[in-house]
Chain A
Amino acid sequence: MTINEKQDELIEEFEFLGDWMDKYEHIIEEAKELPEMDPKLKQDQYIIKGCQSKVWLFPEYKDGKLIFYADSDAIISKGLVGLIVRVLSGYTPEEIRDAELYFIDRIGLKEHLSPTRSNGLLAMVKQIKLYALALASTKKMPT
Chain B
Amino acid sequence: MEIKSEINYSYLEYQGAPVRHEFPALHQDVFGKPLIYLDNAATTQKPWKVIHATNKYYVEMNSNIHRGVHYLSQKATDAYEISRNTIAEFINARQSKEVIFTKGTTEGINLVADCFGRYAVNEGDSVVITSLEHHSNIVPWQMLCEKRNATLKVIPIDENGEIILDEFEKLLDETVKIVAVSYVSNTLGTINPVKEIIELAHKNGSAVLIDAAQAVHHIPIDVQSLDCDFLVFSGHKMYGPTGIGVLYGKEEWLNKIPPYQGGGDMIKTVTFVKTEYNDLPFKFEAGTPHIEGAITLKAAVDFIREIGINEIARFEAGLLKYATEQVLQLPEVQIIGTAKAKASSLSLNIRGAHPYDVGVLLDKMGIAVRTGHHCTQPIMDFFCIPGTVRASFAVYNTMEEIDKFLESLRRAIKMLV
Is there contact, CB below 8 Å, between A24 and B365? no
**Minimum distance in angstroms from A49 CB to a CB of chain B:** 15
Q: Choose from B31, B354, B357, B387 the contact partner of A20 (Cβ within 8 Å).
A: B31
- Which one of B361, B365, B387 has the greatest number of beta carbons of chain A within 10 Å? B361
Is there contact, CB below 8 Å, between A24 and B386? no
Tell which of A73-81, A84-92, A127-135 binds the partner: A73-81
Is there contact, CB below 8 Å, between A24 and B387? no
User: Which residue on chain B has the smallest CB distance to residue A31?
Assistant: B357
Q: Which residues of B contact A54 (CB under 8 A)?
A: 386
Is residue B307 contacting chain A, with contact meaning CB distance below 8 A? Answer: no
Is there contact, CB below 8 Å, between A74 and B415? no
Is there contact, CB below 8 Å, between A21 and B361? yes
Q: Which residues of A contact B357 (CB under 8 A)?
A: 53, 74-77
Within 8 A of B (CB), among A56-101: 73-77
Is there contact, CB below 8 Å, between A24 and B360? yes
- Chain A positions 26 through 38: 1 when the CB is less than 8 Å from some CB of chain B, otherwise 0: 0010000000000
Is there contact, CB below 8 Å, between B415 and A53? no
Is there contact, CB below 8 Å, between B31 and A53? no
- Chain B positions 356 through 369: 1 when the CB is less than 8 Å from some CB of chain A, otherwise 0: 11001100110000
Q: Which residues of A contact B386 (CB under 8 A)?
A: 53-54, 73
Is residue B226 contacting chain A, with contact meaning CB distance below 8 A? Answer: no
Is residue B416 contacting chain A, with contact meaning CB distance below 8 A? Answer: yes
Is there contact, CB below 8 Å, between B365 and A21? yes
User: Which residue on chain A has the smallest CB distance to residue B32?
Assistant: A19
Cα of A118 to Cα of B355 in the assembled complex, Å: 13
Tell me the count of chain A residues lying within 8 A, CB to CB, of chain B: 17
Cα of A25 to Cα of B414 in the assembled complex, Å: 10
Given contacts A52-B372, A73-B386, A75-B416, is CB(A24)–CB(B354) below 8 Å?
no
Q: How large is the interface on B (under 10, 10 to 19, 20 to 34, 35 or more residues)?
A: 10 to 19
Given contacts A24-B415, A73-B386, is CB(A53)–CB(B365) below 8 Å?
no
Q: Which residues of A contact B399 (CB under 8 A)?
A: none
Q: Which residues of A contact B353 (CB under 8 A)?
A: 75
Q: Which residues of B contact A118 (CB under 8 A)?
A: 356, 372
Cα of A73 to Cα of B416 in the assembled complex, Å: 12
Q: Which residues of B contact A52 (CB under 8 A)?
A: 355-356, 371-372, 387
Given contacts A28-B416, A54-B386, is CB(A76)–CB(B356) below 8 Å?
yes
Is there contact, CB below 8 Å, between B356 and A74? yes
Q: Which residues of A contact B415 (CB under 8 A)?
A: 21, 24-25, 28
Q: Choose from B31, B354, B361 the contact partner of A73 (Cβ within 8 Å).
A: B354
Given contacts A52-B371, A52-B387, is CB(A77)–CB(B356) below 8 Å?
yes
Cα of A77 to Cα of B66 in the assembled complex, Å: 53
**Minimum distance in angstroms from B312 CB to a CB of chain A:** 32
- Which one of B32, B354, B371, B387 has the greatest number of beta carbons of chain A within 10 Å? B354
**Minimum distance in angstroms from A37 CB to a CB of chain B:** 16
Given contacts A24-B364, A76-B360, is CB(A53)–CB(B354) below 8 Å?
yes
**Minimum distance in angstroms from A110 CB to a CB of chain B:** 15
Q: Choose from B355, B356, B361, B372 the contact partner of A24 (Cβ within 8 Å).
A: B361
User: Which residue on chain B has the smallest CB distance to residue A54?
Assistant: B386
Cα of A24 to Cα of B411 in the assembled complex, Å: 12
Q: Can you name 5 A-B residue pairings with CB atoms under 8 Å?
A: A20-B364, A21-B361, A74-B354, A75-B354, A118-B356
Top 7 closest pairs, chain A to chain B, by CB? A74-B354, A20-B364, A52-B356, A74-B356, A53-B356, A76-B357, A74-B357
Can you add 5 more A-B contacts, CB < 8 Å, to A54-B386, A74-B356? A21-B361, A21-B411, A53-B357, A75-B353, A75-B416
